[in-house]
Structure 1
Amino acid sequence: MEATDLASAGRLPKSYVVRTELERILAELAEGDPVPSERDLAVRFAVARETVRQALRDLLVEGRIRRQGRGTVVSRPKLVQPLSLRSYTQNALSYGLLPGRILVGWDDVPADADTARDLEVPVGTPVMHLERVLLADGERIGLESTFLRLDRFGVLRDTYDPTTSLYAAMAALGAVLGHATERIETVLASPREAALLECTTALPLLLLHRRSIDQHGHPVERVRSLYRGDRIAFEAMLTRDTLPRS
């Protein structure tokens, strides 16, 4: 797009027009290809570098591009995680990605009111707390905090490798998931969370709260998961019972 074309865009913000043109450029590039510099784009579109910078920031947040060294390159597509009882490991493998986890902490904590309610134990009862960073091909994309009843899953201390699938380990103990309730919100990362996820505190994150129930109707887990909004998306399959009604 030439400078005259930008002028003809009327009252549309220049950063929006520049971003639209950048999306056309990205569509012609492959993953890992370099994105033109701010200076080159500013000259090409006859706009201030701050206008280009704003458009690039928007694309960074969306995960369309990423920083590499002193430049910017095209990102891989987001990992799409279905809202289902399918495990993170299964889903990552289905996309040809290598799943992984980094153990942040594994200890016993007293159950607060929400945890006690979800796990059906008295407030203050010691419960297992497992916190891990989720990886996809070595890239940090999520931070998962899981609470489990000690009387049911305390044996995992001696048998479980926290860098592997927790659901597989629970299934080996006879805990097969029957259903779950999940709520999704958008939040910004705290300084600690940003450090663990290797992102900035300005990056929108997807916050998931999950309560899982086994095949016999007993509570299995309470989970709080944070996912980088630039690296992962969620989708759900709608059935007749869940379709919106006018």
Structure 2
Amino acid sequence: MALNFEPELPTFVFERTYTNDHQFLFAFPNEKKMPNARQIQLRRLYDIMNLSVQRNDLPRARRAWSILARCKEINWKAMWRLGITLLGNDARVMESNPRKIDYLRTMLLQLPEERERILAELVQHYILAGKYRDALDELEFYLPSFPYRDNPVLHVYAGLLCIFVAQPPESAGVNEVEETAFDSNSLSRAQIFLEHAKALDPHNIVASEFLHKLHSISQGPASISFASHDSEDETHTKGCQPSQPKRKRSNS
């Protein structure tokens, strides 16, 4: 039997009387011009949560979030970016952990209108966690389907990951690297992804530059190194893990 539970808001959230001249710090979703007592409480609590995040007081922010997320006026799914921040240990540091990855994979299924942005965020967190193969597998699973196949950024991510995993092992010596060829299968996949990205966005500089590098590799693989490239995405993909089995695609 489902219970229709509506949490009672704490009385300590505000101190002023209910008038029409209340001042709030942050824009509130679905804001009304004439707020009632409950909406003013929600606004105060929303301010406390956002201010706590800016002050890096995540425990207080999580307590405010736990109340707001149960209120019917709040669409907590639309605030998924804030949810990622609250799952971290420091709001000022870009980091990842298994809880953030699981959260993003759940939101990818529950928030269809934001799925392209969520997938891009999920791939970034896989890279931050050092799970490069998992990031590539996730992209290859979704990219053949709509709307992901029409997103040039996702194709660029897939291309760069393919280039990275195609490189010789970092543990190899100088002489060994010279004798080690790049993985041709991964480079072919990278070219397909990058060419698709350029077809979708002809002015995409990243896709154009790395397609040029792929051509250079075909001329002399040992003379090209991606480890020192200035791309932020390339920096995050340093230290690739061994290959892992891919997830099977669903026929549905």
User: What TM-score, normalized to structure 2?
Assistant: 0.26
Q: Which has the larger radius of gyration?
A: 2
Larger % of strand: which? Answer: 1
User: What TM-score, normalized to structure 1?
Assistant: 0.26
Task: Choose between structure 1 and 2 for higher RCO, CA contacts under 8 A separated by at least 6 residues.
Answer: 1
